[in-house]
Amino acid sequence: MSIENKVEEVKKKVNADEVKANAAAIKEKIEESTKSRLKRYAKKRRGGVLRYPLESLTDQTDYLQIDIEEYVPIGEGYVTDPGSKNRYVTGDYFGSDRAGRRSASRLSKKPLINKGTILLPIPSNIQDTNQVEYGSSSLNGLAATGVSAAEGIMLTQLGGKQDPFGVQQVGEQVQKAKASVTGGLGSDAAATNALTKFLAAKAVNVFGANVTFNQLLARGNGEILNPNMEVLFNGPTLRNFRFNFKLTPRNEKESQQVKLIIRAFKRNMAPQAQGGSLSSGNWFLKTPNVFSLRYRTGRKNHPFLNRFKQCFLENCSVNYTGEGVHTTYDDGTPVSMNLDLTFKEIAPIYDIDYDAKPGSEAVGY
């Protein structure tokens, strides 16, 4: 290889190294810029009050107040006590007592970011539904006897008695189960008949015959085992609230408020791009903000209507042709819009929630 060719190869190698170094430096700068931007974004908070319509609120005016608040995770314990205060509607002093007194000239003219209050008229359809889940359960006599026998063996073993393999306990529990079956069915013959049909159903099903114990009893004796059916409590449920608002801005200021209100709901219900630590990159998303809802009368909570726990905004739907026709003002604002919001409470309702504020007020939750 000539000297000239060697020189060219060295130049190419040097240039390639420089390109790699420059690319690495650019990548590092972009990552630092992204971290800096996300850091500012994560801490960004801009509050204020938005209101529709613009009319002044008096001590007799009823309205719906919606406070935007940061979501607080449960933490390392993973569970909260029923009725825990960190799942109550809280709100700050300003949001609770002064939002309704803010004049139209002092309403926010900028978007609300991770904080703020929105005041809307009382919806036309106000209702709440409290629901608890129940389900039917069956336990016939044979199954109940088996459960009792199994419990007896387990309790004996847990009691620390000297029978490591449980032989004696099994024998005792089998005798008790036999006595229980005989007593429940009335006689040894009835017990033998029931047990025989039970075993026969299990045996014949090995050959693909889909026969149940009760079917054999019904065919042979004209009876079935008493299912001892009972309705049992399954658990609480979470409430949903759906509101529909007709927005018809009548002037430029009201148009601006409507635009900011829609934007506030959309922005603060969205998952936050800065999740986890800044060094986690795009691996995580942060939980969206929560909304605290309250029916208000002037400067106080409504004296009758229901209370809310903190909610997530599940759905925000806007129909920009509220009258079925696309009609706008000169600045492009639609003449009529329908705003549909669906909230879901983040915690269920318990009895002790009615013993402290805000559950103890009016009809409570």
What does the pLDDT look like over 284-311, one tens digit per residue? 888 999 999 999 998 889 999 999 999 9
Average pLDDT over residues 271-281: 69
Average pLDDT over residues 248-264: 96
Whole-angstrom CA distances from 220 to 203, 223, 224, 349 are: 17, 8, 10, 50
SS3 105: helix
233 within some domain: no
Unique residue bearing structure tokens 């079917």:
215
362 within some domain: no
365 within some domain: no
353, 83 contact by CB (below 8 A): yes
What does the pLDDT look like over 62-74, one tens digit per residue? 999 999 998 888 8
Residues 242 and 347 in one domain: yes
Q: Which residue has the higher pLDDT, 347 or 201?
A: 347
Residues 285 and 188 in one domain: no
337, 320 contact by CB (below 8 A): yes
Average pLDDT over residues 117-146: 89
Report the pLDDT value the prediction gives residue 214, as an integer from 0 to 100. 78
Residues 122 and 244 in one domain: yes
Report the pLDDT value the prediction gives residue 27, as an integer from 0 to 100. 67
Residues 249 and 342 in one domain: yes
Residues 186 and 258 in one domain: no
- Global confidence as pTM: 0.77
Question: Amino acid letter at 336?
Answer: S
361 within some domain: no
Domain boundary among 169, 195, 228: 228
**DSSP label at 97?**
I
Domain boundary among 228, 253, 281: 228
Residues 72 and 99 in one domain: yes
Residues 152 and 87 in one domain: no
Residues 60 and 152 in one domain: no
Residues 249 and 113 in one domain: yes
Average pLDDT over residues 335-354: 94
Report the pLDDT value the prediction gives residue 299, as an integer from 0 to 100. 86
Report the pLDDT value the prediction gives residue 163, as an integer from 0 to 100. 53
Average pLDDT over residues 230-248: 96
Residue 54 makes CB contacts below 8 A (sequence gap 6+) with 104, 107, 251, 253, 254, 257
Residue 18 has pLDDT above 70, yes or no: no
Local confidence band at 272 (pLDDT 50, 70, 90 cut-offs): confident
In terms of Cα–Cα distance, which of 158, 161, 51 is closest to 98?
51
Residue 157 has pLDDT above 90, yes or no: no
Residue 144 makes CB contacts below 8 A (sequence gap 6+) with 228
Residues 254 and 317 in one domain: yes
Residues 243 and 217 in one domain: no
Average pLDDT over residues 178-206: 62
Report the pLDDT value the prediction gives residue 359, as an integer from 0 to 100. 85
Residue 12 has pLDDT above 90, yes or no: no
The answer to which of 22-26, 36-40, 264-268, 280-284 has the lowest mean pLDDT is 36-40
Residue 233 has pLDDT above 60, yes or no: yes
Range of the domain at 73: 48-130+238-354
Report strand pairing: 49-51 vs 116-121.
parallel
Domain boundary among 228, 251, 278: 228
Mean pLDDT of all residues in the chain?
80
In the chain, pLDDT over 90 holds for what percent of residues? 41
Residue 154 has pLDDT above 60, yes or no: yes
Local confidence band at 116 (pLDDT 50, 70, 90 cut-offs): very high
165 within some domain: yes
Report the pLDDT value the prediction gives residue 216, as an integer from 0 to 100. 75
Local confidence band at 232 (pLDDT 50, 70, 90 cut-offs): very high
Question: Amino acid letter at 285?
Answer: L
258 within some domain: yes
Average pLDDT over residues 120-139: 92
d(CA 278, CA 59): 47
Local confidence band at 223 (pLDDT 50, 70, 90 cut-offs): confident
27 within some domain: yes
247 within some domain: yes
Q: How many domains does the chain have?
A: 3
The answer to which of 53-67, 195-209, 277-291, 338-352 has the lowest mean pLDDT is 195-209
66, 287 contact by CB (below 8 A): no
Report the pLDDT value the prediction gives residue 2, as an integer from 0 to 100. 63
Local confidence band at 227 (pLDDT 50, 70, 90 cut-offs): confident
Residues 35 and 57 in one domain: no
User: Which parts of the chain fold into alpha helices (H)?
Assistant: 3-43, 93, 141-158, 167-185, 188-205, 213-221, 252-269
Local confidence band at 184 (pLDDT 50, 70, 90 cut-offs): low
What does the pLDDT look like over 320-344, one tens digit per residue? 999 999 999 999 999 999 999 999 9
Q: Which residue has the higher pLDDT, 56 or 39?
A: 56
